[in-house]
């Protein structure tokens, strides 16, 4: 771990929101409706919306053009999620009927675990924005449609470091296991693959630094 421990820490990582109680409540509902999602998530600044509503809350043409309209759904009915700096909301973009069908199917546990990971990620972006009062960072002008710029963003690197750890822990890996993988390069997550293929050595180093700080 020599080369990881030697990283200088210039800024602290931001701890993601803990959605455990929220998802426990959701898991207790037999047939989840949009009304249930609104009731459970609205006080957390999370809204489940369609793509037209999502686009209506953007302010620049570039942001609108980079909305990943044609990207495959993450899961049936689940398109993507993003934090909007203007409204300070975390939006989960869905096709409602298909999403509810998926959510109330045998895939329920998988979908809820995935939503937990996604919202943890977006909650880091929310707090990043709140730490810059009066400063508009147009993060939605970065898009997965432009992977080098998107994954190379410092804000995204921090949030994906948390997502990577979440994925590792779901696989039963300990903190020490995760640290060892940073040294060995063993791949257990698509996030590692992205950061080895699409980003600069500096971004890769920052990703490892953030993972180590979170651990």
User: pTM for this one?
Assistant: 0.87
pLDDT band at 5 (very low <50, low <70, confident <90, very high): very low
* Contact assessment for residue 188 and residue 195, using Cβ atoms and an 8 Å cutoff: no
pLDDT band at 137 (very low <50, low <70, confident <90, very high): low
Q: What is the pLDDT of residue 150?
A: 84
Per-residue three-class SS string for the chain? CHHHHCCCCCCCCCCCCCCHHHHHHHHCCCCCCHHHHHHHHHHHCEEEECHHHHHHCCCCHHHHHCCCCCCCCCECCEEEEEEECCCCEEEEEECHHHHHHHHCCCCHHHHHHHHHHHHHHHHHHHHHHHCCCCCCCCHHHCCCCCHHHHHHCHHHHHHHHHHHHHHHHHCCCCHHHHHHHHHHCCCCCHHHHHHHHCCCHHHHHHHHHHHHHHC
* pLDDT tens string 152-200: 889 999 999 999 999 999 999 999 999 998 888 888 999 998 898 878 8
Strand partners, 83: 90
Put the strands of the sheet holding 89-94 in their side by side order.
46-49, 89-94, 78-84
What is the distance in angstroms between the CA of the first residue and the CA of the last residue of the chain?
A: 13
Q: Which of 55-64, 113-122, 129-138, 171-180 has the lowest mean pLDDT?
A: 129-138
Answer yes or no: is pLDDT of 78 > 50: yes
């Amino acid at each position: 771990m020599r080369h990881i421990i030697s990283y200088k820490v210039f800024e602290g990582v931001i701890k993601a929101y803990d959605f455990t109680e929220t998802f426990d409540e959701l898991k207790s509902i037999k047939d989840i409706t949009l009304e249930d999602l609104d009731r459970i998530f609205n006080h957390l600044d999370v809204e489940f919306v369609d793509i037209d509503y999502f686009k209506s809350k953007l302010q620049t043409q570039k942001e609108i053009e980079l909305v990943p309209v044609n990207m495959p759904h993450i899961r049936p009915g689940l398109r993507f999620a993003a934090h909007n700096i203007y409204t300070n909301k975390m939006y989960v973009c869905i096709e409602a009927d298909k999403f509810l069908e998926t959510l109330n199917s045998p895939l329920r546990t998988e979908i809820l675990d995935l939503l937990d990971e996604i919202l943890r990620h977006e909650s880091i972006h929310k707090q990043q924005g709140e730490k810059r009062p009066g400063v508009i960072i147009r993060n939605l002008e970065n898009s997965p449609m432009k992977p080098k710029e998107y994954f190379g963003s410092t804000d995204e690197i921090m949030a994906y470091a948390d997502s990577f750890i979440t994925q590792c822990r779901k696989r039963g890996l300990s903190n020490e296991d995760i640290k060892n993988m940073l040294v060995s390069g063993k791949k257990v997550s698509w996030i590692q693959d992205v950061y080895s293929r699409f980003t600069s050595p500096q971004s890769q180093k920052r990703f490892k630094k953030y993972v180590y700080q979170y651990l």
